[in-house]
């Protein structure tokens, strides 16, 4: 039996903090939502990757002086399950305690504590 809407969504939540695609629970946009995350490597090795990049270019520029800007993770709020299309706000309301537990577990995988307050719209 699926914990959330479908087997694929449960799998993506189980991948939180891992490389490639995952889903985390968050309340950092001023509302409870799930976020799809794409990472080229695990969150745990981010410091090592930053050190390697700094060793390669201490001032974070190319040899021509252009700034090097590298995205190490991409986040996108989800309104619907990317697999089955279920409206996720309904699932969150129905499973509020479980969602709040996931928010605490997934805080370490979010933007690092950055909070963006909105009126509830993205
Ligand atoms: Zn689903």
Ligand 1: centre distance to CA 83 (Å): 5
The band of 52, judged by pLDDT with boundaries at 50, 70 and 90, is: confident
Q: Distance between CA atoms of 37 and 20, rounded to whole angstroms?
A: 8
90 vs 59, more confident: 90
Name the least confident of 1-10, 16-25, 113-122: 113-122
- Give the number of other CB atoms < 10 A from CB of residue 109: 22
Query: Where do the domains of the chain lie?
Result: 7-43+72-109
Mean pLDDT of 23-40: 89
Residues lining ligand 1 (ion), CB within 5 A? 5-6, 9, 81, 83-84, 86
pTM for the full predicted model: 0.76
Ligand 1: centre distance to CA 53 (Å): 37
Q: What are the tens digits of pLDDT across the range 73-95?
A: 888 999 999 999 999 999 999 99
Let me know: does 83 contact 91? Beta carbons within 8 Å: no
Q: What is the pLDDT of residue 6?
A: 97
Read off φ and ψ for residue 22, nearest 5 degrees: -155, 170
Q: Nearest CA to 18 among 36, 39, 47?
A: 39
47 vs 100, more confident: 100
Is pLDDT at 112 greater than 70 in this prediction? no
Mean pLDDT of 20-42: 89
- Give the number of other CB atoms < 10 A from CB of residue 57: 12
Average pLDDT of the chain to the nearest whole number: 84
Residue 23 is classified by DSSP as: E
């Amino acid at each position: 039996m699926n914990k959330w809407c479908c087997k694929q969504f449960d799998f993506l939540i189980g991948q939180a903090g891992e490389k490639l695609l995952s889903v985390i629970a968050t309340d950092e946009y001023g509302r409870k939502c799930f976020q799809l995350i794409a990472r080229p490597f695990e969150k745990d090795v981010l410091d090592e990757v930053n050190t390697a990049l700094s060793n390669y270019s201490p001032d974070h520029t190319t040899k021509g002086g252009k700034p090097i800007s590298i995205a190490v993770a991409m986040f996108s709020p989800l309104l619907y399950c990317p697999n089955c299309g279920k409206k996720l706000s309904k699932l969150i309301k129905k499973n509020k305690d479980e969602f709040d537990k996931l928010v605490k577990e997934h805080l370490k995988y979010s933007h690092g504590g950055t909070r963006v307050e909105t009126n509830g719209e993205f």
